[in-house]
A and B are shown apart, each in its own frame.
Chain A
């Protein structure tokens, strides 16, 4: 398969640290199959198997077949964050939550985002633009892109943002590798998941009292055209890619003697990607996924939420 290596990727190990290494004992060790295993280490011992740790519960709202309006998903997140903060204050158990969904076309900007990375006038934007409270620059969400919003009580895991971001990347890298045989990687200093200089997944989070929300977006079958109307994540010399795009590239250089299998359609690709991402999420974070129905969300809807500062442009 074509594999374009950017010079800044270290040859081994693939995960690169920020200039300041995380203080937790999160380590990357290459396994026999040259995959990356992320293990949470205890303070004084070497890697522990996850059977010896109690698994945390994580409720999952799997809406991946739906185009959930951005505002709606944002509002759900904020309500759940508020709920979790209250639980923590009362010193009660506070499990994690996870949304999996798609959005209709929308641009979102992070806290420090610059308008110079928009190639259009805000008054004449092709889609809605939301300035949110997550980190990172502007990005696009749309059909064909799986978005995951984990709402994680980092007290259940590691109170370490570097660890958390690297773990989110790990979820995606593993899913791409195991399910699509795509060898994706990290780029030093550039949060996200890459194949060569193509960004396949973007990550941006907000943390409040060690509850992390917002999350990640993986381009599966996304139409990438709307990315051309922004400088995605503020990165000028990089491209955006998708799983479908890469599989198409691989196909074109495939061995002609190989039996041609029918290509999965977009729907199948999304199904497979979603299952794989949730599975890897459960593995990396050592949580037991409990699927919740939308009625639990509707219960949230009935709870009044005091007006929070939000700007839609």
Chain B
């Protein structure tokens, strides 16, 4: 997946974050309003949290992964991410069955910070309802959503 992203001319949209710099948003991914991204390939989906989310969390020290085989539902929590003494729920943007979890995050939870869209992926899901994808945002909408949320 990483090489596919690298070989295409991926355009990164920038969301203005006050004080700091910009959080990146990747085109062709879909986004939930709880700041998870999903990359869909047929019935297969890869899920992680966005650059905007990892930036707000700070250094991730622990990722709570679900077990392979569990069911996930769009909008429902499937795991958690811990940083700076705060553990936050992570929500699934799709419904289906978890077929793989990123075990590397057990020893290197910081991958969520350094590579939120690639090495820091969290789970892979076999989707059972691709119709639900229309409930998600595309990169433009997500960028706007983040800007509005940051202005709050």
User: A: which residues have CB within 8 A of B?
Assistant: 18-25, 43, 110-112, 133-136, 159-162, 164-165, 191-192, 203-209, 212
The answer to whether A111 touches B87, judged by C-beta atoms less than 8 angstroms apart, is yes
Which label, helix, strand, loop or mixed, suits the secondary structure of the B interface?
mixed
**How far does the Cβ of B93 sit from chain A's closest Cβ, in whole Å?**
15
Contact of A133 among B34, B56, B87, B149 (CB under 8 A): B87
The answer to whether the Cβ of B7 comes within 8 Å of any Cβ in the partner chain is no
The answer to whether A112 touches B82, judged by C-beta atoms less than 8 angstroms apart, is yes
Cα-based distance from A205 to B86 in the complex (angstroms): 5
Cα-based distance from A205 to B150 in the complex (angstroms): 22
The answer to whether A205 touches B85, judged by C-beta atoms less than 8 angstroms apart, is yes
**How far does the Cβ of A179 sit from chain B's closest Cβ, in whole Å?**
25
Cα-based distance from A53 to B61 in the complex (angstroms): 36
Which label, helix, strand, loop or mixed, suits the secondary structure of the A interface?
loop
Among B58, B82, B84, B152, residue most surrounded by chain A Cβ atoms (within 10 Å) = B84
The answer to whether A208 touches B77, judged by C-beta atoms less than 8 angstroms apart, is yes
Write out, one digit per residue, whether chain B residues 26-68 have a CB within 8 A of any chain A CB (1) or not (0): 0000000010000000000000000000011111011010000
Residue of A nearest to B52 (CB): A23
Contact of B84 among A162, A208, A212 (CB under 8 A): A162
Cα-based distance from A206 to B84 in the complex (angstroms): 11
The answer to whether A20 touches B55, judged by C-beta atoms less than 8 angstroms apart, is yes
13 A-B pairs besides A23-B19, A135-B84, A209-B89 with CB distance below 8 A are A23-B20, A43-B18, A43-B151, A111-B62, A111-B64, A134-B87, A135-B87, A161-B57, A161-B86, A191-B85, A205-B86, A205-B87, A208-B88
The answer to whether B82 touches A111, judged by C-beta atoms less than 8 angstroms apart, is yes
**How far does the Cβ of A167 sit from chain B's closest Cβ, in whole Å?**
12
B8-33 interface with A by 8 A CB criterion: 17-20
Cα-based distance from A21 to B17 in the complex (angstroms): 11
The answer to whether A161 touches B58, judged by C-beta atoms less than 8 angstroms apart, is yes
The answer to whether B86 touches A160, judged by C-beta atoms less than 8 angstroms apart, is no
Chain B residues, CB < 8 A from A165: 84-86
**How far does the Cβ of A96 sit from chain B's closest Cβ, in whole Å?**
17
Q: Given contacts A111-B64, A207-B87, is CB(A23)–CB(B18) below 8 Å?
A: yes
